[in-house]
Amino acid sequence: MNDYLHDRRIVLTLDAGGTNFRFSAMRAGESVGQSVTVPSCPDNLRECLGRIGEGFHRVKSSCPEPPAAISFAFPGPADFPRGIIGDLGNLPCFRGGVALGPMLEDQFGIPVFINNDGDLFTYGEAIGGFLPHVNRLLEAAGSPKRFRNLLGVTLGTGLGGGIVRNGELFLGDNSLGAELWLLRNKLAPEMNAEEGASKRAVSAVYAGCAGLSPAEAPDPEAVFRIAVGERAGNRAAAIESFRRLGETAGDAMANALTLVDGLAVIGGGLSGAAALFLPTLVAELNSEYASPDGRRIRRLTAQAFNLEDPDQLAAFLEGNVREIEVPRAPGGGSAKARTLRYDALPRIGVGLSRLGTSQAVCLGAYVFALKELGPC
């Protein structure tokens, strides 16, 4: 999909939050026109829909030519292919089902595509971010290894995810693919993983370790600053809160990577604290199971590398390349022997968004629309 860099069609996009809606437009993978931010009005459907229409109209008016489509991320549950939004937690006015996509198509007269933000984040990183970045590094290192599959994880208000397989976004039959937040929480098995890998989890663990009530818990940014010594507080509790986040997120990602077998990219508001949790996360990916006879079995067959660590990145790029000879078939005559380069190290790399979470979502939404529209 590198053709998107030369596609002159404009697509309107939206970053939908519970408090604000941020509208923008993209052409050839770059922003065009002016971005617009309006309040979301989460409790009033009529007002909320009006704000959405207003935002797109204002962005459209600043574009150099009419847009070809609207494509954006919106919370689920939803029937995304049909543009129907279901019962949302942070936008309660949508409860009961709202045909947002068809409404916008009627209003603007152009196709409308809606997807989950975790899916579009992963798609954007697969197209123009982390996945091609790693493959370029492998090529520059002279490695024969290349990756085609990507697991995306967003750590923020919640735990989100997405899967791209060989350039195709995996959506699922119910628009529920890669719902990482519902995997089991390793450290509290009666809960889901999001309760241990989100902003509220960081604050809750800090409060528990520091002997504070939930009401006294600082926000995650404050916990981070305590952990790195920039703010007064219980530093041991702050470090432990991010360690537990890394263990919980790593366990959830290990379950997903068992099925995906590809690179993994992390984004979201908590990704800025990766130095505090990424080593624990990767260690969890490289952990072991015990067998009944006492043997140890790797959690993942492939070795996981922290690509934000220079030493681990170097080992990842080097791999274990061998020159092997192709056997001659019995009775096959005197065909000249030939050799092949073979990388004998099954591995996956874990790293941070190369585009930034919001930009990756916008790029994913943009390219998704172009692909659905077809050639110019």
Which among 71, 81, 61 has a CA at the least distance from the CA of 16?
A: 71
Per-residue confidence band for 134, with pLDDT thresholds at 50, 70 and 90: very high
pLDDT of 328: 80
Residue 117 near residue 160, CB atoms below 8 Å:
yes
Q: Which CATH number is associated with domain 2-116+368-373? A: 3.30.420.40
Per-residue confidence band for 1, with pLDDT thresholds at 50, 70 and 90: low
Strand-pair partners of 36: 23
Q: What pLDDT digit, counting tens, does each position of 268-290 carry?
A: 999 999 999 999 999 999 999 99
124 pLDDT higher than 80:
yes
H-only helix segments in the chain: 45-61, 100-108, 117-128, 130-140, 199-210, 220-227, 235-260, 274-285, 310-318, 357-373
- Give the pairing type, strands 321-325 and 339-343: antiparallel
Alpha-carbon radius of gyration of the chain: 23
Q: Which residue has the higher pLDDT, 98 or 335?
A: 98
Instruction: Please confirm whether the linkage preceding 77 is cis (ω < 30° from 0).
Output: yes
- Enter the DSSP assignment of 320: T
Distance CA 132, CA 308 (A): 16
Concatenating the DSSP letter of every residue in 72-119 gives EE--SSEEGGGTEE---SS-GGGTT-EEHHHHHHHHHSS-EEEE-HHH
Q: Once rounded to an integer, what is the mean pLDDT over residues 91-96?
A: 85
Strand-pair partners of 368: none
Question: Where do the CATH 3.30.420.40 domains begin and end in the chain?
Answer: 2-116+368-373, 130-309+346-354
Counting residues of the chain whose pLDDT is more than 90, the rounded percentage is 82
132 pLDDT higher than 80:
yes
Distance CA 308, CA 274 (A): 9
335 pLDDT higher than 70:
no
Distance CA 193, CA 154 (A): 13
The SS3 call for residue 9 is: coil
Residue 297, C-beta contacts closer than 8 angstroms, at least 6 positions apart: 288, 289, 290, 291
Q: What pLDDT digit, counting tens, does each position of 216-270 carry?
A: 999 999 999 999 999 999 999 999 999 999 999 999 999 999 999 999 999 999 9
Choice among 64-68, 239-243, 335-339 with the minimum mean pLDDT: 335-339
Counting residues of the chain whose pLDDT is more than 70, the rounded percentage is 98
Give me 245's structure tokens. 């986040």
Residue 56 near residue 72, CB atoms below 8 Å:
no
CATH superfamily assigned to domain 130-309+346-354: ATPase, nucleotide binding domain (3.30.420.40)
Q: Once rounded to an integer, what is the mean pLDDT over residues 155-165?
A: 95
333 pLDDT higher than 70:
no
Amino acid at 252: A
Sign of CA dihedral 20, 25, 30, 36: negative
- Give the pairing type, strands 84-85 and 98-99: antiparallel
The SS3 call for residue 242 is: helix
Q: Once rounded to an integer, what is the mean pLDDT over residues 329-352?
A: 85
195 pLDDT higher than 70:
yes
Distance CA 234, CA 240 (A): 10
Q: What pLDDT digit, counting tens, does each position of 76-88 carry?
A: 889 999 999 988 8
Per-residue confidence band for 18, with pLDDT thresholds at 50, 70 and 90: low
95 pLDDT higher than 90:
no
Q: Once rounded to an integer, what is the mean pLDDT over residues 299-303?
A: 97
Write down the mean pLDDT value for the chain: 94
